[in-house]
Structure 1
Amino acid sequence: MALAKYVDKLPTIPTLKPTDRVEGADYYKIVISQFKEKLHRDLPPTTVWGFAGRYPGPIIDVMKNQWISIQWLNELPPEHLLPIDTTVHGAEPSVPSVRTVIHVHGSVVQPESDGYPDAWYTKDYKVVGPMFTRKVYDYPNQQPAATLWYHAHAIGITRLNVYAGLAGIYIIRNPALDYLQLPKDAYDMPLLIQDRTFNEDGSLYYPSQTDPPNPYVNPSVLSDYFAENILVNGKVWPYLEVEPRKYRFRIINGSNSRFYNMKLSSNQPFYQIGTDQGFLESPVVTPVILLAPAERAEVIIDFSGHRGEHIVITNDAASPYPRGGPVDPDTTGQIMQFRVTKKLKSRDNSIIPYHLTPIDPLSVKDAVLERDITLDRMEDEYGRALLLLDKRRWHDPIEIKPEVGTIEIWKFINLANSTHPIHIHLVRFLVLDRQPFDVDHYQATGEIMTTGPAVPPELNERGWKDTVRANPGELTRIIIKFVPYTGLYPWHCHILEHEDHEMMLPYEVIY
């Protein structure tokens, strides 16, 4: 069910205030619940899940080094909004269908506050997962200013919980960087992009299977799911009225599977100033921005020369990316609209600075190990696509155990037919390069035969990252320093359908 575009205003997502102050830290008690939300002018209110009574969840806005504590209270109903596939590991019939745990994506926290997939719990903590450790999560925010986001992360049902609405925005700011004179206050706003399909009654549609699943009924439900309508900040194809001046947008791809290759219909550039884990060294002027699920881009758009125009953010990313079918330019080929129709309230004193922040690279010669990691496409016992990391499953013994403080290079060998956005909890990393190789030769011999030179990342990908696009038929190398904590953390593909169906592994940082 595709809906009319640009009939609803872009929602302004409120900022959440602390509930209390405990032992010198701001304390938040955030209720996770079910309610109805009007997502489009022509839809009846949709039953969704959300945080603090809204979808998307409110913005958690903190300063660098500001310690906060959050109790994520599960007050969800006993039945799930969406169909549960009980053949998926962690979602068996013996496990409660409604359960959650929250991960602040990109946060640097102790493992017990990370939102480990097995650390789920039900309403009132009546049933808890095998790794449940605490009710209150601590976030020290001792990391650079960046746009993060928070979302559900329970094993086996992450795709369903996020699709139901469990996602929100988390911003870390650093007042010491105010001298950069970037657009701020009302001219600094997040854009959380997701896709959804609706039934005629306004309810969320998500594919279901028979139990046990029949691959001939719906073979793709655990491979990828691409919905029909694009939402930004919880509204379907919204518009935003802007002044003819510079704005800063914090763009988050919060979709389950869909990539976005974004351009402006006015043919003007984006000035990209940041990526997943904070600022780039200098702004990058680019006509296009590609974001895989979970990636972020901070950009400045200058509307000053476009008074009276209507400008659309377009999308031409294939689904699945990059070898799938083309998007429909009249529907999923559009994301949102800017209307440069507001009067300029005051002089625009913001600037696009030449330099943002130094990025001290990690040295390849300091790496203690280079790991070769395959990204594999297989079939499960029902004939469905099964995407794996190194041909391993979640419950297999842990093989990756880096020592705290050491530097490693991870080389992703993508043998599958699509791009996988790989997210590693706790750490930030730099992309070193990508290099094409002969997939057939590797599968026949186990030897890597490259077919072209190693190519460094694009200019707007040369900042600190926590999610990297590993393209098919390429070797993607990243360099990581494992600091500051020890313990158990997951790493996984951030296509949520892949993550739920075994494309996730634990790793352990040791002394």
Structure 2
Amino acid sequence: MDEDRLKVKESDLDTIPKENRLKVNPSDPDTIPKFVDELPRPQIAKPIRKINGHDYYEVEMKAAYHSFHSLFPPTYIWGYNGLYPGPTFEVRKDETILVKWINKLPTKHFLPLDLTLHGAIDSPEVRTVVHLHGANVAPDSDGHPEAWFTRNYEYTGKKFSRKIYKYTNHQQGATLWYHDHSLGTTRLNVYAGLAGFYLIRDSFEEKLELPKGRYEIPILIQDKSFNEDGSLFYPDAPPFPVRVRPSVVPAFNGNTIVVNGKLWPYLRVEPRKYRLRILNGSNTTAYNLSLENNLEFYQIGTDGGLLPNPVKLTSILLEPAERADLIIDFSTLKGQTILLKNTLDQDPHKSVIMQFRVNLPLKEKDNSKIPESLRPLDPLKEEMAAKTRNLSLSATTDEYGRPMLMLNNRMWTDPVTENPEYDSIEVWNILNLTPFPHPIHVHLVQFLILDRRPFDIAEYQNSGKIIYTGPAVPPAPYERGWKDTVRAEVGMVTRIIMHFNDHEGDYVWHCHILEHEDHDMMRPFRVIKSSYNVQNNNSHSSHD
């Protein structure tokens, strides 16, 4: 296998004139040839022993050098086990595993660090904590932003309580992912390379005869920019004057597309069905994914697992942190080359994701299926909601004159205002008062999207009243399953419903545009067993 891949790589490089190879400038995407490197598959994480009958893993966060492109010099990154993406965990439903996340990173950050942000003012430069995104997990293993720790645990955040995380995997099969979540530096640490897949499998899914093994591929999409020497570029100030430098930026949009750690790679496939677990792991950028010539594909799952039925699509919109479980049938495309495109961007480089080459011989008969029915969905009933909360997304200006995004007009350090009762159902009405969409992520739970409805922003800002200006819009077909991240549309009330069960304690919810999360679009919430002695200081709740 490795020899075959090496031959492919050499033959692809041979098609590029030598003089063009010398002209490659990593900072200029116009000079970077596409489809030179084959799409790599992330390594699989392996346990090192058992503790009390549970598989035990150790994963080191450390600096390394990574090859983003065959014509680039090695690039300095931070990775889990020194890998980018990090190793993929493959676990089974209800089988608990233990993971010790070990910080072996340098003490100085290599990306522009803004010391004015929450959590960064008087804390060590390099702090890490790992969040398993989408997991039903106890708060001490959730990766709370203030549970950070430094190298050798010399310094720890105020929420730090354990070195070994416990993941019970008490949820259906799904595509989760893990990434850094340290307070005030998440955008930098994830951009540096701290992200990886976590796949939960279950017996129900295995009975469906979906594509598996070499025909099931996790795909992490991120955008990045590079300096001329091939090092990662991240801006040290926004594109307007500010009094702080380095300074957080309101958004990051790279000028290249990286898939599983390679720039615009290609994947050689057989003429048969493939299952692609796609994750948008970008800091800010959303993608509307489609195949060349509007070829159809099937979506079988969302963030939290399988849909009730497959959905036939020609495109799918993914905000940062959203996942899509897809099946593409290449059986009628033998000998063809197909592009995976991003129709949200007209840039010749950002509009191209990767290339599929249907040029491998069929190894065996394709017995995999696209079932008519997948997993039944037991919907949460709105009439059972104990509480409905109105929560706004708004913009203001910080003390340095920079734009700052907020949740419900509160900052990270303000007192907790969301205290859902343990084993209760709640509806959250997310009111987007800003001029752009936000991917909102709620820790601990998987939720369902009820609808989105336009409302009068000016009236709400003046009186606090929600005046709807149009009918409710149901979720898109590709959103009608369990979700942990939702696109809150501009000028809309996005309604989600969720059940707070299995765990009590401190969690967070936030915008998953990482530049927003770090400044200051993240809030704590606390799941409580009893609200008897808890003051209800959420003045925007529509009822108790």
Range into which the TM-score falls when normalised by the shorter chain? over 0.9
**Which amino acid counterpart does residue 78 of structure 1 have in structure 2?**
T
**Cα distance between partner residues in 2 of 1:95 and 1:235:** 33
TM-superposed deviation, 1:53 = 2.3
Does 1:17 find its partner at 2:32?
no
1:182 equivalent in alignment to 2:210: yes
Pairs aligned (count): 499
Look up the equivalent residue of 1:173 and give its one-letter code.
R
Question: Aligned Cα RMSD in Å?
Answer: 1.4
* CA deviation profile, 1:218-269 (whole Å, cap 9, x unmatched): 9994311100111110101100000110000000000000000011003211
- Are 2:83 and 1:54 equivalent residues in the alignment? yes
Instruction: Provide TM-score, normalisation by structure 1.
Output: 0.96
Q: CA offset at residue 214 of structure 1?
A: 4.4
- Report what 1:154 is aligned to: 182
Q: Which residue of 2 aligns with 1:114?
A: 142
Does the CA contact (< 8 Å) of 2:392 and 2:430 recur in 1? yes
Deviations 1:152-184 (A, max 9, x none): 000000000000000000000013322211101
Aligned letter for 1:242? V
Match of 1:205 among 211, 233, 252: 233
Looking at structure 1, the residues matched to 346 and 57 of structure 2 have their Cα atoms a distance apart, in angstroms, of: 41
2:59 corresponds to which letter in structure 1?
I
Map 1:386-465 → 2, pairs under 5 A: 386-465=404-483
**Does the aligned pair in 2 maintain the 1:269–1:285 contact within 8 Å?**
yes
Q: Judge conservation of contact 2:452–2:472 (CA < 8 Å) in 1.
A: yes
Equivalent residue, structure 2, for 1:64: 93
* Paired AA for residue 313 in structure 1: L
Instruction: Give unpaired runs (5+ residues) of structure 2.
Output: 1-26, 530-544
The separation in 2 between residues aligned to 1:463 and 1:219, in whole angstroms, is 41
1:288-320 CA distance string (max 9 Å, x none): 110000000000000111111111111122xxx
Q: State the distance in 2 between where 1:337 and 1:267 align.
A: 14
Cα distance in 1, alignment partners of residues 207 and 45 from structure 2: 26
Deviations, residues 472-497 of structure 1 (Å, cap 9, x unaligned): 10000000110110000011000000
Residue of 247, 259, 266 corresponding to 2:293: 266
Partner of 2:319: 292
Q: Which amino acid aligns with 1:298?
A: D
Q: Which letter does structure 2 place at the counterpart of 1:40? A: H
**Alignment deviations for residues 180-218 of structure 1 (CA, whole Å, 9 cap, x no partner):** 1110100001000011100011110000039xx942899
Q: Which secondary structure state, in structure 2, belongs to the residue aligned with residue 180 of structure 1? A: coil
Partners of 1:220 and 1:139 in 2: CA distance: 36
Q: Which residue is 1:254 aligned to?
A: 281
CA-CA distance at 1:442 after TM superposition: 2.0
CA displacement 1:401-444 (0-9 Å, x = unmatched): 01100001000010001111110000111000000112222223
Cα offset for 1:144?
Answer: 0.3
Q: Are positions 1:378 and 2:396 aligned together?
A: yes
Q: Distance in 2 between matches of 1:119 and 1:389?
A: 21
C-alpha deviations, 1:347-400, integer Å up to 9, x for none?
111111000010000001100111000100111122211110000011101011
For residue 214 of structure 2, give the secondary structure of its aligned residue in structure 1. helix
Q: Which amino acid aligns with 1:308?
A: G
Partner of 1:99: 127
Residue of structure 2 aligned with 1:228, choices 240, 255, 258: 255
CA distance in 1, matches of 2:242, 2:501: 43
Task: Give the ranges of 4+ consecutive aligned residues of structure 1 lying more than 6 Å apart after TM superposition.
Answer: 216-220
Rounded Cα–Cα distance in structure 1 between residues aligned with 2:197 and 2:439: 19
1:472 aligns with 2:499: no
Q: Cα deviation per residue 1:128-168 (whole Å; 9 max; x = unaligned)? A: 11111010000000100000000000000000000000000
Residue 509 of structure 2 corresponds to 491
Partner of 1:320: none
Matching residue's letter, 1:476: T
SS of equivalent to 1:411: strand
Amino acid in the other structure paired with 1:501: H
The one-letter amino acid of 2:85's match is P
3-state SS, counterpart of residue 444 of structure 1: helix
Verify the 8 A CA contact 2:45 2:89 in the aligned structure 1: yes
Structure 1 Cα separation of the partners of residues 179 and 430 of structure 2: 25
Shift of 1:446: 2.2
Q: CA deviation at 1:271?
A: 0.1
SS state at 1:441 partner: helix
For residues 327 and 292 of structure 1, the distance between their equivalents in structure 2, rounded to whole angstroms, comes to 17
Query: For residue 269 of structure 2, what is the amino acid of its counterpart?
Result: V
2:4 match: none
Counterpart residue number, 2:35: 6
SS at match of 1:448: coil
Assess if the C-alpha contact under 8 Å between 2:50 and 2:56 holds in 1: yes
Task: Return the letter of the residue paired with 2:376.
Answer: P
The range that moved more, 449-458 or 219-228, is 219-228
Which secondary structure does the structure 2 equivalent of 1:78 belong to? coil
Counterpart check, 1:76 vs 2:105 = yes
- What is the 5 A alignment of 1:203-352? 203-209=231-237, 214-215=241-242, 221-317=248-344, 326-328=345-347, 330-352=348-370
Q: 2:380 aligns with which of 352, 357, 362?
A: 362
In 2: Cα distance, 1:348 partner to 1:427 partner: 36
Cα distance in 1 between the residues matched to 2:64 and 2:313: 40
Whether the 8 Å CA contact 1:32–1:51 is kept in 2: the answer is: yes
Cα distance in 2 between the residues matched to 1:268 and 1:216? 49
Q: Partner of 1:500 in structure 2?
A: 518
308-317 vs 438-447, which moves further:
438-447
The DSSP-based 3-state class of the residue aligned with 2:87 is strand
Could you say which residue in structure 1 is the equivalent of 2:527?
Answer: 509
Note the alpha carbon deviations across 1:29-87, whole angstroms, 9 max, x for none: 11110010111122110000001121110101001111100000000011112010011
Match of 1:323 in 2: none
The alignment partner of 2:126 has SS state of coil
